[in-house]
Amino acid sequence: MTIPNLVGAGLIVIGAGIGLGNIGGSAMEGIARQPEATNKIQTAMIIIAALLEGLAFGALFLGK
């Protein structure tokens, strides 16, 4: 692995981390406001997180 690759991987992880943090944070907030909607919020959260993860892994994979 060369230095540009490593820096790129780091940037991808930072971006994905910010995204996942936002998703998780908003979901927590939503659950706190409406505990009865927990299941729906969790499902939606996992789907969005999976889409984001796919993007991040795709970028890592292409940059390898």
Partner 1 sequence: MNLGKSAKSKLLGLISLFVFCSAFASGVAPKSDGDSEGHGAVTSESEINEYILHHIKDAHDFHLFSYNDSEGHRKHIGFPLPVIVYSSKGLRTFMSSEFHHDDSGHHVVESDGISLVKYHERIYELNEGAHGIEFDEAHHPTNAHAVLDLSITKSVFGFLLVSILMLIAFGRLAKQYKKQAVPTGFGRVLEPLILYVRDEIARPNIGEKHYRRFTGFLMTVFFFIWTSNLLGLTPLGFNITGQLAVTFTLALFTYLITQFSGTKDYWKHIFWMPGVPVPMKIILAPIELLGTLTKPFSLMIRLFANISAGHIVVMSLISIAIIMKSTLGTAGATLLSLALSFFLTLIELLVAFLQAYIFTMLSALFIGMAVEEHEHH
Judged by the rule CB under 8 A, the positions of this chain that interact with partner 1 are 43, 46-47, 50-51, 53-55, 57-58, 60-61
How far is residue 19 from each of residues 2, 24, 25, 35, 57, measured CA to CA in Å? 26, 9, 10, 23, 13
CB of 31 to partner 1, least distance (A): 18
CB of 21 to partner 1, least distance (A): 18
Q: Nearer Cβ to partner 1, position 3 or 32?
A: 3
46/19 Cα distance (integer angstroms):
13
Residue 30: which H helix or E strand, with range? Answer: helix 3-33
CB of 29 to partner 1, least distance (A): 22
